[in-house]
Amino acid sequence: MRLHRIRTEIAHALTKELGIPYAEIARKLGVPPVAMSKMMKKVSKS
């Protein structure tokens, strides 16, 4: 669970602050793009 939270925080920062696309972040973090999209939706709801 801790790794998931770290990945989510990294992805959120890269997307919002640097404008890097989800697909590129997903490749770098080793997760499917669909999972990245779901992670970001959860972050935006909270």
The confidence score (pLDDT) of residue 10 equals 84
> Cβ(36)–Cβ(8) under 8 Å?
no
The confidence score (pLDDT) of residue 19 equals 93
User: Count of domains in the chain?
Assistant: 1
Retrieve residue 45's tokens.
Answer: 């709801």
Nearest to 22, CA basis, from 39, 7, 37: 37
pTM comes to 0.65
Q: What is the pLDDT of residues 1-46, one digit of tens each?
A: 788 888 888 888 888 899 999 889 888 888 888 888 887 777 766 6
Domain that holds residue 13: 2-45
